[in-house]
Amino acid sequence: MRYITYQTKKFSPGVASTITKANAIIKEYNAKGYVLTLRQLYYQFVARGLIENTERSYKNLGSAVNDGRMAGLLPWDGIEDRGREHHGTYSNEDMQEVFNGLEHHYTVDTWARQPVYVEAWVEKEALGNVLERPCGRWRVPHMSCKGYLSASAMWRAGERFAQQFDAGKKCVLIHLGDHDPSGIDMTRDNIDRLRMFAGTDDLEIVRIALNMDQVERYNPPPNPAKITDSRSDDYIANYGEQSWELDALEPEVIARLVEAEIKQRIDKDIWDEAVAEEKEQREYLKRFYAEFNEIKEFLDSNNGE
């Protein structure tokens, strides 16, 4: 992790302690392969009883993290903002190096032969990388919805599901969201609009988190239900005046929930057969890199013929 000092700062004992604790949590999750958002770091502080669950605590932690990074006491790559990603372009002028690892670009569509089509959606963009781990491992299309999905994005999703349904597949949407008035309603909205645009009610939409059994099991820190939300009356009638954010669950817990749901949908024999075929074909591509000079020499010698 990269610690870079841009400013010299003096910290009160309380802020210095917060920075030390933040460092320990960041390192803990970095060792597991996760980079936290500020919101996820905040919930780790709350869950461990280090700060109160208030807006003031969140702002104070944000200030401490920012100052700690500027002073070189917290790593710049230890916290990420997933809503502001930079996209560059790739270039490589070494022809042989282009072939290095080329085999990994050859992939068999392991789901094409499965009797089921699966997608996974998460309410928050900040949790996109948590969803990406199990979905990437099992090659499941996934999306960060950023709240309620736009009409355009939902229509395109309906088209995807309709195509798979017409091909004879069972279609499943895995959804994750906050346990609050809007987060609960988003699952209902996904069900209604996705089925409408797909042109069939025969789609399975399963909400795997955040649900009350998980709240009871993992005991994430609660928030007051947002009474200004137009859906709050129904929510409070069903669940009471507390709500919970999906971010408050450990990333590994979320990843396990997603992976377990995906794996139970897979025909393992069909999957293994596709993966074996992919491995065999990749071996051919590896030979292009290993024998690049010989191939190039042969092509150059026959260039004039």
Cis bond before residue 210 (omega within 30° of 0): yes
pLDDT surpassing 60 at residue 85: no
Helix axes 13-31, 38-47, angle to 10 degrees: 110
Residue 227 in tokens: 């009474």
Q: Work out the angle at residue 208's Cα, subtended by the Cα atoms of residues 224 and 137, and round it to the nearest 5 degrees.
A: 125
Q: Could you read off the pLDDT of 203-258 as tens digits, one per residue?
A: 999 999 999 999 999 999 998 877 677 889 999 999 999 999 999 999 999 999 99
Q: How many CB atoms lie within 10 A of CB 92?
A: 8
What does the pLDDT read at residue 69? 94
pLDDT, the chain, mean: 90
Any alpha helices (H) in 138-267, and if so which ranges?
A: 151-166, 181-198, 212-218, 232-239, 251-263
Residue 235 in tokens: 């929510």
Class of domain 114-266: alpha beta
Q: Work out the angle at residue 22's Cα, subtended by the Cα atoms of residues 216 and 54, and round it to the nearest 5 degrees.
A: 50
Q: Could you read off the pLDDT of 156-212 as tens digits, one per residue?
A: 999 999 999 999 999 999 999 999 999 999 999 999 999 999 999 999 999 999 999
Strand partners, 121: 143, 175
Rounded CA separation 40/31 (Å): 16
User: What's the residue count for the chain?
Assistant: 305
The more confident residue out of 299 and 22 is: 22
Rounded CA separation 172/206 (Å): 7
Q: What are the strands, taking DSSP E only, across 37-141?
A: 116-122
Rounded CA separation 172/265 (Å): 9
Of 248, 217, 245, whose CA–CA distance to 47 is shortest?
A: 248
Q: How many CB atoms lie within 10 A of CB 116?
A: 14
Q: Could you read off the pLDDT of 14-52 as tens digits, one per residue?
A: 999 999 999 999 999 999 889 999 999 999 999 899 999
Q: Could you read off the pLDDT of 113-165 as tens digits, one per residue?
A: 999 999 999 999 889 889 999 999 999 999 999 999 999 999 999 999 999 99
Rounded CA separation 222/236 (Å): 14
